[in-house]
Copies of this chain bind each other. A is one copy, B any other.
Amino acid sequence: MAPEILVSEVGPRDGLQSIKSILPTPAKKAWIAAEAAAGVREIEVGSFVPAKVLPQLADTAEIVAFAKTIPGLTVAVLVPNLRGAEAAIAAGADKLTLPLSVSETHSLANLRRTHAQVIEEARAIAALIAEQPEDRRPHFEGSLSTVFGCTLEGAIPLPQILGLAEQLMAAGCDEVGLSDTTGYADPRAVKDMVRAVRGAVGDEALTGIHLHNTRGLGLANVLAALEMGLDTVDSSLGGIGGCPFAPGASGNIVTEDLVFMLQAMGLKTGIDLAKLLEVRKIVAEALPDEPLYGFTPDAGLPLGFVPESHAPSMESAA
């Protein structure tokens, strides 16, 4: 198990795109700044999709520019295609994630693209990145979504998944990620999938996972992923969000509960848990109609719980 875990906050993208309310730009900035101040080192701040598709994320370029002023923060964004990648690079994002749904039915419903078309976008994005000055090349991840099963197709054949992982790497991605879009994963499936995909693309090309808590197994699945050596876990403050194209599949892992688990286990996150819990207030006040989830915020911390000190080693790693 890696001793230091990167908690990658996806609430400002995955959370906000799934709700009807639009979080005003100043509140987004306050959220991102507060969460970074609490020690979160990577935040997916938005998605470069047309504003008419996701008006909640129409201010992504402005949000990226703001987030880039926060020292040590990795500013991640989702890009559905080359056009989104162009905008992301122009805005100065540090990390681009291109989703590829291993279920082609879901891919067509979600991105309106076949697998071959998504791989072609990946190739074009990688070429665009290669054209950038060396110090301005963002990290590029291809995210294998619906990898633990799809609400439209059910289980996806493993050879198809491994083939797509290999094609993403061949197209020029720096790494692939696993995404349990539908909340179908279980701990054994997580271990089997990590082993299989690493077998196909190499250990260094798979370090992160995006899990949902749809059936209550979110943190058990995280534990399985950590035991396989992954060191990057996505989660959403207050558990908001999910995938709007996978019915009943809402429910990201709650960042607060995740960080509590990691710190209770003695793993380093670089996060000040008390400060993180305070960030909820910003989101709750700005989104009064949206429920926030999480057990740890309700229960409080155990008596005698020793929070992780803001370890200096994490600062330099950021």
Contacts and interface: CB of A to CB of B under 8 A. Distances in A.
A214 interface: yes
Interface string A241-254: 00000001101001
A216 B219 contact: yes
Contact of A257 (B188, B216, B260, B296): B216
Contact of A295 (B251, B266, B302, B304): B251
Q: Classify the interface of chain A: helix, strand, loop or mixed.
A: loop
A206 interface: no
A102 interface: no
Contacts of A189: 264-265
Interface in A128-181: 149-155
Contacts of A217: 219, 257, 260-261, 264, 295
Given A215-B296, A302-B149, A186 B264 contact: yes
Interface string A211-230: 00111110110111000000
A187 B223 contact: yes
What are the nearest 9 A-B pairs in CB distance?
A154-B304, A216-B295, A186-B264, A216-B257, A188-B265, A219-B220, A184-B302, A154-B303, A220-B220
